[in-house]
Amino acid sequence: MENAGSSRRQPPQTETELMVRARALCGHTVAELAQALQTPLPAESRRAKGFVGQLVEAALGADRYAGERPDFPQLGIELKTIPVDRRGRSAESTFVCSINFGRTETETWECSRFRQRILCVLWLPVQCAKEAALGERRFGQACLWRPTSSELESLRQDWEYLIGAIGAGQLARLTARAGRYLQVRPKAAHARVTRWAPGEDAPQKDLPVGFYLRAQFTAAILGRLTQVAGGENQ
DNA sequence: TCGTGATCATCT
DNA sequence: AGATGATCACGA
């Protein structure tokens, strides 16, 4: 592991530089990366949600203050670690962005927060994420995803349906089963958190929600991007 | 409090 | 097993 002793890298200047860094992680474990960055591993994996993602952000030089901008603002690239099983298949949905209830009636697909966040995504698979202990989880090969026009069209249809339903005050009737590739799911500290949302008659309190890409969708795009036939799985 | 990073725990 | 609904940590 290079760069041991530095807690955070400088931002990459080019897409190529970013990809070189990301691919250098392939085959290494979370414990190795944490040691290189002098970061202690959380004791309980239950309390480590997001840890690997933030560790990788530091390793690749993502902008920690990017906020709603892409993780690499200059490059317009979003970074996402994605848990995969031993066959490299994603098993979890992927959070994309939270939904602002105040904008559901005016936001358009073209300028939506969702669309902006999926235009260019650097996926970094984390193998055996659910089976192995946190430190033993191993990085796979990073790949860069720019949605095809047909992928964008599929997502647009789901997005418009879901955002439309919410804007029409139907959030309470939506479940995670709605949407073919996208779904709306809770995104909150706990189930007692509420926010004002459009209601059928008047605004009402609802659980905060976000857009998630279904695991089957991300599995399909990772499959499309993985060209190495019969890749060396572990 | 809200938005970022997600995974956990349970139900089907 | 896979998906859904719930939850954990942190920074501004």
Q: Residue A168 pLDDT more than 70?
A: yes
Tell me which nucleotides of strand C come within 7 A of a protein CB: 2-12
Global pTM reads 0.93
Place of tokens 């860069």: A144
C8 closest protein residue (CA to C1'): A47
B8 closest protein residue (CA to C1'): A46
Q: Which two tokens stand for residue A151?
A: 């992928």
Q: Could you write out the DSSP letters of every residue in A19-60?
A: HHHHHHTTT-BHHHHHHHTT-PPPS-GGG-TTHHHHHHHHHH
pLDDT, position A65: 86
Place of tokens 């399909």: A220
Give the angle subtended at the CA of A50 by the CAs of A49 and A52, to the nearest 5°: 110
Closest CA to A83 of A14, A144, A137: A137
- Amino acid present at A14: T
Backbone region of residue A210 per phi and psi (left: phi > 0; alpha: psi in -120 to 50; beta: other values): beta
pLDDT, position A24: 97
Q: Residue A225 pLDDT more than 70?
A: yes
